[in-house]
A and B are shown apart, each in its own frame.
Chain A
Amino acid sequence: MASPLVAVRNLRTLFPVGAHSVFRAPATFVHAVDDVTFDIDEGEALALVGESGCGKSTLALTLLGLERPTTGSIDFAGQEMTALKGSELKAARRNMQMIFQDPYESLNPLMRVGEIVAEPLIVHKLANARSDREARVRAALEAAGLKPPEVYLERYPYQLSGGQRQRVAIAAALVLEPRLLLADEPVSMLDVSIRAEIINLLAELKQTRKISILFITHDLGTVTAVADRIAVMYLGRIVELGRTADVLTQPRHPYTKALLSVTPAPNPRLRKERIILKGETPDPTRLPGGCRFAPRCPVAQPLCLASDPPLTALETGHTAACHFG
């Protein structure tokens, strides 16, 4: 099998907390992304699931190079992203585009749709001929499901609905024809009725254009239509990783089980008993010594408080970080 498009190895992004200066090193760190390892193949969609604050977005920003990783490596299409600077980093970003959570905030209110979608081309000095650029903008708008594109080119974001805005953001990401799409909660701010459309659009893009997608979400219910594999994240660490069907039907980590048990099922009679987690996520500056899920884990044993379980393979392509998984 060919090497994966993205290979993340032992990635760690820490943020210093509290007062620090040249003279005083920071004493504590937020472990936003803590020793994360995963691959994304060409044309594969990986869903990154976890509750808010677990480091999903930081992971995406680190992949893009907007946050500097503390340690670890990101291999993107054979290039070591963490070593890139300046124009090289800019060139690498051309192949990696991000869709943000809030389509109301992520579009400049003073720019027309046409300008927003053309912006990546201008920034990267691509398609410099006016006609060429316009053609690519139109194609991107159509690919994002805004048809006919003429209707939208001259509009401002405030004249569009939330779903349309997210489509504009997707079009702006597609115009560079990237190989990897980082979708950071692309549907969580949208009406439920529009979510399916956007998710189907992403699934379609993956199918037809062979774009790899990192689909970040806190909602397990939205992943099945897009994701080939699921990575469950808890407090900066991946606790379970496997094929979508495996993870959803045979979750091995108690955190995944808890998440699944509270996902609404279409048939209310089939509803299983819900596992409601007690307490709050621990302070990410002071992580517990053993398994970081142990304080809230319904099946925690003394062993869990003592030692941190590594991510271990259970069956082909299914790993979980639990002593009892």
Chain B
Amino acid sequence: MESSHPGGLTATMRNFSRNRMGMVGLAMLLLAIALAVFAPVIAPYDPAKPPRATIMDIYLPPSAEHPFGTDDAGQDVLTNFLYGARVSLMVGFFASFIAVAIGGVMGLSAGFIGGRTDNILMRFTDIMLVIPDLPLAVVIVALTKPSLWVIVLVIGLLGWTSTARLIRSQTLSVKQRRFVTRARAVGAGNFYIIRRHILPLVLPLLVVNTVLVISLAILNESTLSFLGLGDPTAPSWGQMLNFAFTRGAMSAGGWWALLAPGIGIVWVVLACTLIGQGLEQVLNPRLASHNLSSTKQMILRPPRTQSQHAPQAPDQA
């Protein structure tokens, strides 16, 4: 696409690339993903190797040999941190994918079909919304065999409500627009209208929401793992925190065992929040310059797309 309308996904992404905080968030997230992907290359030790733990290896402070120190089992914290990133990010992405898929379908159908369908779907969403996610998740995970996929499923199945509400409201507003009536007048069917007219205008919002749901999913997974409900075969950051917390890291002075996973979680959640906020500013330019912002932006800089066409604009008639 060489040019596109300000409301579309391509243009949203291009404008996003000029949002400083958003780009910082994106860089942070990409770094975390890179660390997770290249964990086997970067990690100084093999996590699969059984620890040859003696009393001398437990809670060793950071050193050249163990840059982040060692944990309660004498394992290298950096290695666990890198492999833990894989688990945390994977759970975050898969769970949010499930949540956004369900929420998107629910929101689109509720908003587009309307009437009784809307009522039923939204009442169901309301019920899901008022049930406290975490206690329910704890109960479900506790009742099943602890496995990564159960956690992914639980977080995904409990986390779609906000997406459904958001997508429904956007669908409702897009549905009312004249070009949808025009498409109907032309003779287009519902499926065509959703695909061609509604979805493209809902998509940018869905992307923003996905980013925020990812951070929420990672946070939820950490919480569950911290409470001891994680998959013991796939230690995540939350589980590292759990081990360090329950096995006396603080009393042994091993703060590094808590710090590394804690920073990891904060890092990814902050990255997602920054990206989400950046995208939101791009989609809703009014947020960018309110009266309390430090720099005065009485006139918003026109997006580059428009200045490209500006010279030829006046003589089109």
Interface residues of A, Cβ cutoff 8 Å to B: 61, 64, 66, 90, 93-94, 97-98, 100, 102, 105-111, 119-120, 123-124, 156-161, 163-164, 169, 172, 176, 194
Asked whether any CB of chain A lies closer than 8 Å to the CB of B56, the reply is: no
Name 28 interchain pairs, CB-CB below 8 A, sorted by A: A66-B181, A66-B184, A66-B185, A93-B185, A94-B187, A97-B185, A98-B185, A100-B182, A106-B181, A107-B179, A108-B183, A110-B4, A110-B5, A110-B7, A110-B8, A110-B200, A110-B201, A111-B196, A119-B186, A119-B196, A123-B188, A124-B187, A156-B5, A158-B5, A159-B316, A160-B316, A164-B316, A176-B186
Which residue of chain B has the shortest Cβ distance to A101 in the bound complex? B178
CB of B317 closer than 8 Å to a CB of A: yes
Name the residue of chain B whose CB is nearest to the CB of A159.
Answer: B309
Q: Which residues of B contact A98 (CB under 8 A)?
A: 182, 185
Q: How far is the CB of A115 from chain B (nearest CB, A)?
A: 9
Beyond A61-B185, A119-B183, A123-B186: 8 further Cβ-contacts under 8 Å? A66-B185, A97-B186, A106-B178, A109-B7, A109-B179, A156-B4, A159-B309, A169-B182
Q: A93-B185, A164-B316, A172-B186 are in contact. Are A156 and B3 (CB under 8 A)?
A: yes
Closest A residue by C-beta to B309:
A159
A108 to B188, CA, bound (A): 14
Query: Which among B8, B181, B188 is the interface contact of A119 at CB below 8 angstroms?
Result: B188
Query: Which residues B152-189 have CB closer than 8 A to chain A?
Result: 177-179, 181-189
On chain A, the residues within 8 Å of B316 by CB distance are: 159-161, 164
Q: Is A93 in contact with B179, judged by CB distance below 8 angstroms?
A: no
CA distance A102 to B181 in the complex (A): 12
How many A-B residue pairs have C-beta atoms within 8 angstroms? Tell me: 78
The 8 nearest A-B residue pairs measured at CB: A105-B178, A106-B178, A93-B187, A108-B179, A98-B185, A90-B187, A123-B188, A120-B186
Chain A neighbourhood of B183, CB < 8 A: 108, 119, 123
Encoded as 1 (CB less than 8 Å from any A CB) or 0, chain B from 4 to 34 comes to 1111100000000000000000000000000
CA distance A156 to B6 in the complex (A): 10
Flag if B179 contacts A105 (CB, 8 Å). Answer: yes
Smallest CB gap from A96: residue in B: B185
Which chain B residues lie closer than 8 Å to A107 at the CB level?
A: 179, 182
Q: Which residues of B are interface residues toward A (Cβ below 8 A)? A: 3-8, 177-179, 181-189, 192, 196-197, 200-201, 309, 313, 316-317
Determine how close the nearest CB of chain B comes to the CB of A92; give it in whole angstroms.
Answer: 9
CB B12 to nearest CB in A, in angstroms, measures: 11
In angstroms, how far is the closest chain A Cβ from the Cβ of B1?
Answer: 10
Closest residue of chain A to B176, judged by CB?
Answer: A105
Quote the shortest CB–CB distance from B209 to chain A (angstroms).
Answer: 19
**Across the interface, which residues of A come within 8 angstroms of B197, CB to CB?**
108
> Which residue from B8, B181, B201, B309 sits with its C-beta under 8 Å from A100?
B181
Contact B188 A109 (CB under 8 A): no
Instruction: Report the separation of the CA atoms of residues A45 and B197 in the bound assembly, to the nearest whole angstrom.
Output: 32
**Which of B189, B201, B317 has a CB less than 8 Å from the CB of A164?**
B317
Q: How far is the CB of A19 from chain B (nearest CB, A)?
A: 14
- Contact status A109-B5, CB under 8 Å: yes
Contacts of B196 in A (CB 8 A): 108, 111, 119
Nearest residue, chain A, Cβ from B203 = A110
Residue with the greatest number of chain A CB neighbours at <10 A, chosen from B184, B187, B192, B316: B187
Complex CA distance for A160 and B196, rounded to whole angstroms: 21
**Min CB distance, A236 to chain B, in Å?**
20
In the complex, the chain B residue whose C-beta lies closest to that of A107 is B179
The residue in chain A whose Cβ has the minimal distance to the Cβ of B116 is A22
Q: How far is the CB of A314 from chain B (nearest CB, A)?
A: 35
Rounded to whole angstroms, the CA-CA distance of A98 and B178 in the bound complex is 12
Kindly name the residue among A66, A109, A111, A172 whose own CB sees the greatest number of chain B CB atoms within 10 A: A109
Which residues of B sit under 8 angstroms from A105, Cβ to Cβ?
Answer: 177-179
What B residues does A164 contact at CB under 8 A?
Answer: 316-317
Closest to B177 in A: A105
Q: Which chain B positions have C-beta within 8 A of A120? A: 186-187
Contacts of A110 in B (CB 8 A): 4-5, 7-8, 200-201
Q: Within 8 Å CB of A109, what residues of B?
A: 5, 7, 179
Centre residue among A110, A158, A164 by max chain B CB count within 10 A? A110
* B317 nearest in chain A by CB position: A161
Residues from chain B with Cβ under 8 Å of A64 in the complex: 185
Min CB distance B249 to A, Å, is 53
